[in-house]
Amino acid sequence: MKLLSNKYLLFLIRIILGFIFIYAGAEKISNPESFALSISNYKLIPAAALNICAITLPWIELVAGLLLLLGILVKENSSIILFFLSLFTIAIIISLFRGLNIECGCFGKGNQIGLLKLGENSLMIIGSLLLVFFGSDFFKLTDKN
């Protein structure tokens, strides 16, 4: 327990998750159409709602990642990240069960969904869970939390 709530470990997780989400968000923002197609490949969201998701999701990722990196509202932002990670992971699991062999749409092109992706996501989920529970006050921009 003590090891898990180590402030340096939490700080490291915060920085890594922050960068990952900033990158993931920015990449999708740069090419919304390709992200919309990626979502449509999952065949989980009605066509009419695809664009709304493709427009808003990346910005939520980017903002949450940025705030996390800066140490602003760490618990809240890691909750957001935890929520979306869980959502993506469920979508990937459903697709794997359906036998879909599709691009993940996680970080631009060249990411197939698969067990590796599930592993990555599980690690990030654990990381964000830790942040939700313990927060990370180390080296943050504001004192408010």
Partner 1 sequence: MRVSLIRIFWIILVSILISFVYNHFNPNGLNLIREERVLIWEDSSALDNSEKDSLLIEKNFSSNTGELTHNEMNQSFDQPKAIKIDFAYKLFKQNVKFIDARSVEEFAEGHIKGAVSIPFYGSEEYQSVLNQISKDEYLVTYCDGDDCDLSILLGDELFQKGYKRVYVFYGGWQDWLKNNYPVEK
Q: Which residues bind partner 1 (CB under 8 A)?
A: 29, 31-33, 36, 43, 47-52, 54-56, 58-60, 62-64, 67, 73, 75-77, 79-80, 98-101, 132, 135, 145
Q: How far is the CB of 51 from partner 1 (least distance, A)?
A: 4
CA torsion sign, 40 to 86 to 99 to 108?
A: positive
C-alpha–C-alpha distance, residues 96 and 59, integer Å: 27
Residue 140, SS3?
A: coil
Q: How far is the CB of 80 from partner 1 (least distance, A)?
A: 6
Q: How far is the CB of 132 from partner 1 (least distance, A)?
A: 6
Where are the alpha helices (H) located in 31-73, listed in sequence order? Answer: 32-42, 47-70
Please, which residue, 105 or 135, has the CB nearer to partner 1? 135
Please, which residue, 41 or 89, has the CB nearer to partner 1? 41
C-alpha–C-alpha distance, residues 32 and 35, integer Å: 5
138 Cβ contact list (under 8 Å, min separation 6): 7, 8, 10, 11, 71
Q: How far is the CB of 46 from partner 1 (least distance, A)?
A: 9
Please, which residue, 32 or 138, has the CB nearer to partner 1? 32
